[in-house]
Amino acid sequence: MELSKRTAEVHVPDGATDADPQQAADLHVAPASRRRQEVAEALARTTHLAVGAHQDDLEIMALEGILACFGKPDAWFTGVIVTSGAGSPRDGLYEAYTDEQMQAVRRTEQQKAAFVGEYGAVVFLDHSSAEVKDPANRCPVTDLAQVLLAARPSVVYTHNLADKHPTHVAVALRLIEAARSLPPEARPKRLLGCEVWRDLDWMCDTDKVVFRLDAHENIAASLVGVFDSQIAGGKRYDLATMGRRRAHATYLESHATDAAQLVNFGMDLTPLLSDAGPSPSELVAAHIERFAEDVRATLVKLA
Ligand SMILES: [Zn+2]
């Protein structure tokens, strides 16, 4: 895998390798090639992959995938962070940090989350937001295509296409392009758009993918809690994320008791992986039209 940025990195929290110990100890194998092998093996075990714009997005939006793999020997979660985090807001302890220092802090925080969540690997692609948002820049697309090929995940989580953060939407679009650049048999089986900078509560219930997230609430709280540089400035993403899940679980069904205590919603983006499928804007527009029709129909009925 040849990623486009010199500073790109694949972090493997358990440093796992299935290599024959004899072979690993063989002095004739250069450290760089051993490392490449270790990375290839860590990515190849992936079952669930999540692609987010920033450090902390995956822990907010893709908990279903993290929990599906937590403590399971045959399921592995790999996270991909597309931007470097250099331009992040900063306050308090981090107020005087340069962009470079901030980037290092955010990478360390993401590595802490990967350790706590027992991820198989985290890939830092290290693009700037401007680069990701530039449709003419093919580097994020080719990087993501390489990761998809190395990991061959069955399920992929990313930002939903109605998110209000332009970098989030751009990441989802680049990922869709990357998946569609692969032969159909190498594409993921399922692609899900998730919640960060806009809930999906507005979608019709029949359209929602419901992620039930009751397991390991302690781990979920830790995962959003390690991103101190983002929380220290007064943005309580940790509390907001856990609160959103609790609110979704309660408000999902008005006439039934709660089937889950913690819920996130997803938008099924799988049709976008098909050559004959809709365009991203057509898929989102169809969801918005069904929502509008649902609200209109209730008002007409009760007027
Ligand atoms: Zn983000």
Protein residues placing their CB within 5 Å of the ion ligand 1: 53-54, 57
The average pLDDT across 50-57 equals 97
Q: What is the 3 state secondary structure string of the chain? A: CCCCCCCCEEECCCCCCCCCHHHHHCCCCCHHHHHHHHHHHHHHCCCEEEEECCCCHHHHHCHHHHHHHCCCCCCCEEEEEEECCCCCCCCHHHCCCCHHHHHHHHHHHHHHHHHHCCCCEEEEEEECHHHHHCCCCCHHHHHHHHHHHHHCCCEEEEECCCCCCHHHHHHHHHHHHHHHCCCHHHCCCEEEEECCCCCCCCCCCCCEEEEECCCCHHHHHHHHHCCHHHHCCCCCHHHHHHHHHHHHHHHCCCCCCCCCCCEEEEEECHHHHCCCCCCHHHHHHHHHHHHHHHHHHHHHHHC
List the 190-194 sheet strands across, edge first: 9-11, 121-127, 77-83, 48-52, 155-159, 190-194, 263-268, 208-212
Residue 18: which pLDDT band, with cuts at 50, 70 and 90?
low
What distance in angstroms lies between residue 131's CA and the mean position of ligand 1's atoms?
15
Joined tokens for residue 260: 């889950």
Rounded CA gap, 95 and 98, in Å? 9
Give distance in angstroms: CA of 54 to centre of ligand 1: 4
Find the 103 Cα to ligand 1 centroid distance in Å.
14
Overall average pLDDT of the 114-122 stretch:
97
More confident residue, 55 or 95: 55
Ligand 1: centre distance to CA 159 (Å) = 9
Phi, psi of 103 (to 5 degrees): -60, -40
Per-residue pLDDT band at 90 (split at 50, 70, 90): confident
Distance 20 CA to ligand 1 centre (A): 39
Structure tokens at 191: 């692609």
Tell me the CA–centroid distance for residue 166 and ligand 1, in Å: 10
Q: Is the pLDDT score of 221 beyond 70?
A: yes
Instruction: Please give the pLDDT value at position 198.
Output: 96
User: pLDDT confidence of 32, banded at 50, 70, 90?
Assistant: confident
Query: Residue 173 has which token pair?
Result: 């679009």
pLDDT band for 79, please (50, 70, 90 cuts): very high
Q: How far, in Å, is the centroid of ligand 1 from the Cα of 210?
A: 21
Question: Which has more pLDDT, 209 or 101?
Answer: 209
Cα 19 to ligand 1 centroid, rounded to whole Å: 36
**CA dist., res. 79 & res. 228, Å (int):** 19
- Cα 144 to ligand 1 centre (Å): 17
What's the CA-to-centroid distance between 30 and ligand 1, angstroms?
37
Q: What is the Cα–Cα distance from 42 to 19, expressed in whole angstroms?
A: 11
pLDDT number for residue 29: 60
Of the pLDDT bands very low, low, confident and very high (cuts 50, 70, 90), residue 258 is confident
The answer to whether the beta carbons of residues 17 and 24 sit under 8 Å apart is: yes
pLDDT band at 25 (very low <50, low <70, confident <90, very high): low
Q: Write the pLDDT tens digit of every residue in 122-164.
A: 999 999 999 999 999 999 999 999 999 999 999 999 999 999 9
Question: Is the pLDDT reported for residue 263 higher than 70?
Answer: yes
Among residues of the chain, what percentage have pLDDT more than 70? Answer: 95
Are 118 and 65 a contacting pair, CB within 8 Å? no
Query: What integer best gives the mean pLDDT of the chain?
Result: 93
pLDDT value of residue 217? 95
pLDDT at 254: 78
- How far does residue 301's CA lie from ligand 1's centre (Å)? 40
Torsion of CA 89, 95, 96, 97, to 10 degrees: -50
Whole-number Å distance, alpha carbon 88 to ligand 1 midpoint, is 10
Q: How confident is the model at residue 282 (pLDDT cuts 50, 70, 90)?
A: very high
pLDDT for the residue 255: 75
71 CA → ligand 1 middle, Å? 26
Q: How far is the CA of 228 from the centre of ligand 1 (A)?
A: 15
Q: How far is the CA of 73 from the centre of ligand 1 (A)?
A: 29
Does pLDDT of 31 surpass 80?
no
Least Cα distance to 43 among 10, 4, 70 occurs for: 10
